[in-house]
Chains A and B, each alone.
Chain A
Amino acid sequence: MIQGNKLLKILLPIGLLLMQSFIATAQQTVVDSSVLDRLNELEKKVASTKPGEDHVMIVGLATMGFATYKTTNTLNGTSTVTKGNSFPDADHFELSPMFLWRHGNKFLVEFEPSFSNNGLSVNWANVSWFAAPGLIIRAGYFVLPLGTYAKREAAGWINKLATDPMGVADMTPTDYGVEVSGGQPLGNMKFNYDFALTNGNQLQADGTITSGNIVDNNNNKTFTGRLGLLPFSNSSLEVGVSGMFGKVGDQGSEQLNTMAKVYAFDLNFVKLYKPILVNIKAQYNIQDIDKVYYTNPSDSSLYTFNNHTTAYFVQGSIRPTGAEGFIKNIELAGRYTSFNTPTNSSFGSDQHTITVGLNYWFSWRTVFKVTYESYKGNSTASKLLGFYSGTTTTNTLFIHFAIQL
Chain B
Amino acid sequence: MKKIFVIVIVLTGFVFIALMNSCKVSQKVSMKTGAQLWAENCQRCHNTPSPSSFSPQQWETVGLHMQTRALLTDEERNKIVEFLKQ
Contact = CB atoms under 8 A, between A and B. Distances in A.
A138 to B, nearest CB: 7
Interface string B1-44: 00010011001001101111111101111000000000011011
Query: Contact size class for B?
Result: 35 or more
A235 interface: yes
A213 interface: no
A143 to B, nearest CB: 10
Contact of A128 (B45, B49, B60, B68): B68
B86 interface: no
A108 interface: yes
Interface string B58-75: 101110110111111111
Given A55-B61, A194-B71, A189 B21 contact: yes
Interface in A55-104: 55, 57, 59, 100, 102
Contact of B58 (A55, A190, A265, A286): A55
B18 A183 contact: no
Interface string A160-203: 00000000000000000000011111111111111000000000
Given A55-B57, A108-B65, A239 B14 contact: yes
A187 B44 contact: no
Contact of B4 (A136, A188, A263): A263
B43 to A, nearest CB: 5
A231 B58 CA distance: 31
A185 B61 contact: no
B28 A231 contact: no
28 contacts: A55-B58, A55-B61, A57-B61, A100-B65, A108-B61, A110-B68, A128-B64, A128-B68, A134-B73, A138-B68, A152-B70, A158-B45, A181-B68, A183-B73, A184-B73, A186-B21, A186-B26, A188-B21, A233-B29, A235-B40, A239-B14, A263-B4, A268-B45, A270-B43, A270-B44, A364-B47, A364-B48, A365-B46
Interface of B: 4, 7-8, 11, 14-15, 17-24, 26-29, 40-41, 43-50, 53, 57-58, 60-62, 64-65, 67-76
Q: Which 7 A-B pairs have the closest CB atoms?
A: A187-B21, A192-B71, A185-B26, A364-B47, A183-B71, A233-B28, A133-B74
Interface of A: 51, 55, 57, 59, 100, 102, 105, 108, 110, 128, 130, 133-134, 136, 138, 151-153, 155, 157-158, 181-194, 227-229, 231, 233-236, 238-239, 241, 263, 265, 268, 270, 272, 277, 284, 286, 361, 364-365
